[in-house]
C-alpha cells in the first residue's frame, strides 16, 4: 500500500474528452497554464494538480495531453504515475488516442486505474448505454478490464464523489515507489525564478531528497546542490519517492537541466547508449520491426532516437516479444526493470515497448545462443545474481557499493547480496582507507592467473632480478586501477600466497634471483677483484668486460650485486665492495673520535686513496647521514653511531 503523500495519478485519454475540466472539478486547479492551451482548449504541455482523497491521502495529479501530436509530452508525464485515470467522453466513446494511451499504459505495466466516463450530461440514456457497452468490450483485453467505470460530469458535478472514492480504493492497491533506493528524479520541466535560480520539477521515482544534498544531473554529469524543495506547492525539508517535487538548484542553467535530464544521487547511475532489453511489438503495429530499424525511445521524460538490434532474428512481427539491444544516439539514464516505450521514427506511432535488462550493455555478437541465455538469466535474476553479474562485467575494475547501485538494486538488497556473495566466496571485499571495494571471485582468480603467468615469464627472462616493478604490473595488467587500489589488491594476493611483495617489486612465491654456472664464476672473479681493489675500485664496465661479454648481462649482474649488498653504489658509475665501505667508515669514525673534524684531503690520507675516490666516498657518507659538512670540513653526524 502507498504511503500518504506518495501517490501520483495520471490522466489518459483522447483530446477534448474532458481530462483538464475533470481535474479542475476535482481539485479546483486549472492545469492548462499556457495561454495557447486556453485559447485552443486543449492541453499541450503537462499540467499538475493535487487533491486529498476521502481516506485523507494526498495525491498528485499529472494531466497529460490527449492530442496525437503531443504524445511525446504525454509520455514524459505518464512514466512516473502509480495509477491511471482513463478519461472517455460519453459523446464520442473510444477514439484513436484512447487506444494509443491504453497501449502505452499496457506497455508500462500500470496495473491500477479508474475509468471516468465524462460528459454524461451531453447524451441521453440510450446513447450512454451504447458507450458503456463499447467501453466494457474495449477494456476486456487490457490491464484495466477490472477497473471501475464511473459516470461523471464536470459541469453538473455528477459522479465526482464516487470518482474520488474509486480513486481512493485503487490507490490502496497501487505499488509504493522505493524510498530506500538512490535518488532519481526524471526532469519534466525547468524554469528560472528571479532571486532563486533554476527550478526543476518531476515525479521522484526513488529515494529521498533533502535540502543541501549535492546531487548530479545526468547525462551531463553536472553537480547540483539542493537549495530548497517544494511538494504540492509547500516548502519541505525532504521529498520522498512517489511525490511531485520542485527542486531549486542554483548555479545550473535551465538549458543544462531540461526535460529528459535526470536528477540523481551522485554515482548511482551510469548513462549508456547501449541497453539490453526485452521488447514487445504491439499486436496492431502496422508492420514488422526490422533489425536496425530507427525508432524513438521513451524512458522517463527522455525521448532519444536509436536503432533496434535483434540477436536471433531479422525482424519482430506484431504481437511478438524478443530480446534485443537498443543502440541510442544519446546516452540514456536507465536501471534494470525500467519500462520504456518505442514509437516509429516516421510516421510517429506507438509500436511497442518493454523492460530494460542491462542499463549499460556491451556489444554482443548476433546468432549466439549464450547471449540469449545470459539475458534470460539476467532478466529473472535475484539481487545476488545481479550483483554477481555486475562484478563480472567490471572485468578490470574494483567496484564500490555506489558503483553497484547502478545495477538497479536498493541499498538493503545490495548489502545482503554482497554479504551472501562474500560468504560463498563468490566475491572479495578489499578495504582501501575508509572505502570498501569488491571484485568477483572469478575475476580475482583470473587476475591471479594472469599475474602469475606474467611473473613466470619475467623470472625466466630476468633470473637475476628481484621481481617485476609494481608500476609495470599496473600498466600491463591493471591500467584501470589506481596505484592505491593496486597496492591493496596485491596485498590480498600476497595474503593468499599467490605472490610475494617487495618494496617496489612483485615476485612469485619461492622465487629468488639465481645465477647460472657461468654467472657464478664471473661473480666470484669480480667480487675478488673489488675486494682486492679496496678503496680504489675499477669501473664496472672495465672489470666486467673480460668475464661477461654481453653488456646487458653485465648490467643484470651489477644490479644483483647491489641488491645483495655485495657492492655499494657510491656515485654514478662508481661502486665499492661493501667490505671496503665498512672499513672506510670505521677509519673515519676513529679519526673523528680523536680529531673531531676532517677535510677531504685528510680523509684521502686516512683511507690511503686518491681524491678521485675520497671525495665521492665522503659525499656518500654525507648523504647517508654518517657525517655532516660544515664549510670544507666534516664532523660526525649526531646519531650516526660515533661520537659528536
pLDDT at 45 over 80: no
| Fold that domain 523-636 belongs to in CATH | Arc Repressor Mutant, subunit A (1.10.10)
End-to-end CA distance of the chain: 83
Contact 62, 11 (CB under 8 A): yes
Average pLDDT over residues 105-130: 90
pLDDT at 73 over 80: no
| Fold that domain 272-375 belongs to in CATH | Elongation Factor Tu (Ef-tu); domain 3 (2.40.30)
Average pLDDT over residues 134-146: 91
pLDDT at 66 over 50: no
pLDDT at 195 over 50: yes
Which is higher by pLDDT, 10 or 291? 291
pLDDT tens per residue, range 17-39: 878 888 888 887 765 443 433 34
Cell 551472501, residue located: 420
Contact 603, 617 (CB under 8 A): yes
- Measured between alpha carbons, how far is 170 from 7 in angstroms, rounded to an integer? 11
Q: Which residues contact 572 (CB under 8 A, 6 or more apart)?
A: none
CA distances (Å), origin 372, targets 54, 67, 276, 307, 390: 48, 39, 10, 19, 17
Q: Which residues contact 67 (CB under 8 A, 6 or more apart)?
A: 15, 42, 43, 44, 97
CATH class of 7-173: alpha beta
Contact 259, 229 (CB under 8 A): no
Give the model's pLDDT for residue 62: 79
Give the model's pLDDT for residue 446: 92
CATH class of 381-514: mainly alpha
> Would the CATH topology of 381-514 be identical to that of 523-636?
yes
pLDDT at 179 over 70: no
Q: Pick the range with the lowest mean pLDDT from 224-233, 290-299, 631-640.
A: 631-640
The angle formed by the CA atoms of residues 362, 365 and 370, to the nearest 5 degrees, is 90
Write down the H helix ranges in 407-440. Answer: 411-423
| Neighbouring C-alpha atoms within 13 Å toward the C-beta of 475 | 5
| DSSP state for residue 121 in the 8-state scheme | G
Give the model's pLDDT for residue 69: 46
pLDDT at 338 over 80: yes
Contact 213, 227 (CB under 8 A): no
Cell readout for 303 is 525521448
Average pLDDT over residues 610-621: 95
pLDDT at 642 over 90: no
Beta strands per DSSP E along 459-591:
468-469, 500-501, 505-507, 567-571, 574-577
Q: Give the pairing of strands 113-118 and 83-89.
A: parallel
Give the model's pLDDT for residue 617: 96
Report the candidate in 292, 285, 379 with the shortest Cα–Cα distance to residue 341: 285
Q: Which residues contact 133 (CB under 8 A, 6 or more apart)?
A: none
pLDDT tens per residue, range 217-232: 999 999 999 999 998 7
Highest mean pLDDT among 66-75, 410-419, 585-594: 585-594
- Measured between alpha carbons, how far is 66 from 15 in angstroms, rounded to an integer? 4
Contact 577, 500 (CB under 8 A): no
Contact 593, 642 (CB under 8 A): yes
- The percent of residues above 70 in pLDDT, for the chain, comes to 91
Give the model's pLDDT for residue 76: 57
Cell readout for 4 is 500518504
pLDDT at 266 over 80: yes
| Fold that domain 184-264 belongs to in CATH | Elongation Factor Tu (Ef-tu); domain 3 (2.40.30)
How much is the mean pLDDT over the chain? Answer: 87
Average pLDDT over residues 482-502: 94
pLDDT at 2 over 70: no
Domain boundaries, the chain: 7-173, 184-264, 272-375, 381-514, 523-636
Give the model's pLDDT for residue 178: 64
Strand partners, 290: 315
Residue 389: strand, helix, or coil: helix
Report the candidate in 97, 105, 102 with the shortest Cα–Cα distance to residue 138: 102
pLDDT tens per residue, range 530-543: 999 999 999 999 99
Amino acid at each position: 500500500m502507498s504511503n500518504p503523500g506518495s501517490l501520483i495519478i495520471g490522466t489518459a485519454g483522447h483530446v477534448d474528452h474532458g481530462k483538464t475540466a475533470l481535474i479542475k472539478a476535482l481539485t479546483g486547479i486549472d492545469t492548462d497554464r499556457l495561454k495557447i492551451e486556453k485559447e485552443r482548449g486543449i492541453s499541450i504541455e503537462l499540467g499538475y494538480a493535487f487533491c486529498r482523497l476521502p481516506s485523507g491521502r494526498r495525491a498528485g495529479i499529472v494531466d497529460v495531453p490527449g492530442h496525437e501530436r503531443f504524445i511525446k509530452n504525454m509520455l514524459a508525464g505518464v512514466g512516473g504515475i502509480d495509477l491511471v485515470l482513463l478519461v472517455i467522453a460519453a459523446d464520442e466513446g473510444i477514439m484513436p488516442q484512447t487506444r494509443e494511451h491504453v497501449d502505452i499504459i499496457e506497455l508500462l505495466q500500470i496495473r491500477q486505474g479508474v475509468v471516468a466516463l465524462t460528459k454524461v450530461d451531453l447524451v441521453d440514456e440510450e446513447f450512454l448505454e451504447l458507450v458503456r457497452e463499447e467501453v466494457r468490450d474495449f477494456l476486456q483485453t487490457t490491464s484495466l478490464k477490472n477497473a471501475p467505470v464511473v459516470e461523471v460530469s464536470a459541469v453538473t458535478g455528477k459522479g465526482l464523489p464516487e470518482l474520488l472514492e474509486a480513486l481512493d480504493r485503487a490507490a490502496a492497491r497501487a505499488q509504493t515507489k522505493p524510498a530506500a533506493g538512490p535518488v532519481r528524479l526524471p526532469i519534466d520541466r525547468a524554469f528560472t525564478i528571479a532571486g532563486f535560480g533554476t527550478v526543476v520539477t518531476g515525479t521522484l521515482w526513488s529515494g529521498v531528497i533533502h535540502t543541501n544534498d549535492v546531487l548530479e544531473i545526468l547525462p551531463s554529469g553536472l553537480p547540483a546542490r539542493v537549495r530548497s524543495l517544494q511538494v504540492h506547492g509547500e516548502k519541505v525539508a525532504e521529498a520522498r519517492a512517489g511525490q511531485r517535487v520542485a527542486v531549486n538548484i542554483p548555479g545550473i542553467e535551465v538549458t543544462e537541466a531540461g526535460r529528459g535530464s535526470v536528477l540523481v544521487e551522485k554515482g548511482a547511475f551510469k548513462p549508456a547508449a547501449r541497453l539490453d532489453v526485452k521488447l514487445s511489438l504491439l499486436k496492431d503495429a502496422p508492420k514488422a520491426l526490422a533489425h536496425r530499424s530507427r525508432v524513438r525511445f521513451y524512458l522517463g521524460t527522455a525521448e532519444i532516437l536509436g536503432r533496434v538490434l535483434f540477436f536471433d532474428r531479422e525482424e519482430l512481427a506484431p504481437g511478438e516479444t524478443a530480446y534485443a539491444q537498443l543502440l541510442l544516439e544519446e546516452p540514456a539514464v536507465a536501471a534494470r526493470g525500467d519500462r520504456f516505450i518505442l514509437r516509429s521514427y516516421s510516421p510517429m506511432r506507438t509500436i511497442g515497448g518493454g523492460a530494460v535488462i542491462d542499463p549499460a550493455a556491451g556489444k554482443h555478437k548476433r546468432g549466439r545462443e549464450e547471449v540469449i541465455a545470459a539475458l534470460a538469466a539476467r532478466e529473472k535474476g535475484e539481487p545476488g545474481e545481479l550483483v554477481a553479474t555486475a562484478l563480472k562485467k567490471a572485468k578490470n575494475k574494483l567496484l564500490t557499493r555506489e558503483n553497484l547501485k547502478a545495477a538497479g538494486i536498493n541499498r538493503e538488497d545490495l548489502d545482503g547480496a554482497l554479504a551472501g556473495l562474500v560468504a560463498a566466496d563468490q566475491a572479495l571485499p578489499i578495504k582501501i582507507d575508509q572505502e570498501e571495494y569488491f571484485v568477483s571471485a572469478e575475476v580475482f582468480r583470473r587476475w591471479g592467473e594472469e599475474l602469475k603467468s606474467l611473473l613466470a615469464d619475467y623470472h625466466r627472462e630476468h633470473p637475476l632480478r628481484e621481481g617485476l616493478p609494481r608500476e609495470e604490473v599496473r600498466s600491463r595488467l591493471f591500467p584501470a586501477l589506481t596505484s592505491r587500489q593496486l597496492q591493496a589488491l596485491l596485498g590480498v594476493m600476497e595474503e593468499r600466497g599467490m605472490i610475494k611483495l617487495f618494496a617496489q617489486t612483485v615476485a612469485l612465491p619461492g622465487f629468488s634471483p639465481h645465477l647460472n654456472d657461468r654467472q657464478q664464476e664471473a661473480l666470484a672473479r669480480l667480487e675478488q677483484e673489488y675486494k682486492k681493489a679496496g678503496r680504489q675500485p675499477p669501473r664496472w664496465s672495465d672489470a666486467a668486460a673480460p668475464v661477461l661479454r654481453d653488456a646487458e648481462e653485465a648490467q643484470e649482474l651489477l644490479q644483483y650485486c647491489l641488491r645483495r649488498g655485495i657492492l655499494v653504489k657510491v656515485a654514478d658509475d662508481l661502486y665499492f665492495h661493501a667490505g671496503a665501505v665498512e672499513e672506510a667508515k670505521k677509519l673515519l669514525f676513529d679519526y673523528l673520535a680523536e680529531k673531531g673534524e676532517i677535510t677531504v684531503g685528510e680523509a684521502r690520507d686516512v683511507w690511503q686513496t686518491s681524491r678521485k675516490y675520497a671525495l665521492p666516498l665522503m659525499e656518500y657518507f654525507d648523504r647517508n647521514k654518517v657525517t655532516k659538512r660544515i664549510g670544507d670540513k666534516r664532523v660526525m653526524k649526531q646519531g650516526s653511531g660515533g661520537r659528536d
